[in-house]
Amino acid sequence: MVNCEVIDFKANKGNNIGYLVAIEGNNQIKFDIKRVYYILETPKSAVRGFHAHRELLQVLICIRGSIAVDCEDINGNIKRYILGDPTQGLFVGKMVWHTMEWLSEDAVLFVLASDFYNEDDYIRQYDKFITLSERRT
């Protein structure tokens, strides 16, 4: 199993004035949330990502539109997740090579992260990711 997991959040639905989703660190999210960021105005079919994180844990939430996230872990397990429900998040663990493809122009990706931004935590070369992985081929 790839080191990723879909998380269902509670949504306060049941009236006609919209709904609210609340997310708490160390509760539905199994880490302390130190940073949030969001990505928007990405053209349809554009693909971002192409990296893995050494230590960072993240939860990816598509709060509008839809985005496909392709994940590959250090053992070579590969899985595609389609995010299109704002009441769900995708936990992405450490050492997961991931890309995000915008399936709709209006999509917005909201991300909860376990640490501050640190470029040294990124592995941006796929060859390096393979070398660092424990994969036995």
- Residue whose token pair is 């640490």: 115
Q: Report the residue number, 10 or 106, with the smaller CB distance to ligand T46.
A: 106
Closest C-alpha to 83, from 106, 64, 56, 57? 64
Residue 71 near residue 2 (C-beta atoms within 8 A): yes
Q: According to CB under 6 A, which residues from 42 to 61 bind ligand T46?
A: 48-49, 58, 60
- Provide the β-strand partners of residue 131: none
Catalytic residue among 7, 23, 39, 51: 51
Q: Report the residue number, 19 or 37, with the smaller CB distance to ligand T46.
A: 37
Residue 95 near residue 52 (C-beta atoms within 8 A): yes
Distance, CA of 13 to CA of 38 (rounded, Å): 24
Query: With binding defined as CB under 6 A, does residue 37 bind ligand T46?
Result: yes
Q: According to CB under 6 A, which residues from 60 to 89 bind ligand T46?
A: 60
- Which residues would be at the binding site for ligand T46 (CB under 6 A)? 35, 37, 39, 48-49, 58, 60, 100, 111, 117
Active-site residues: which are they? 51
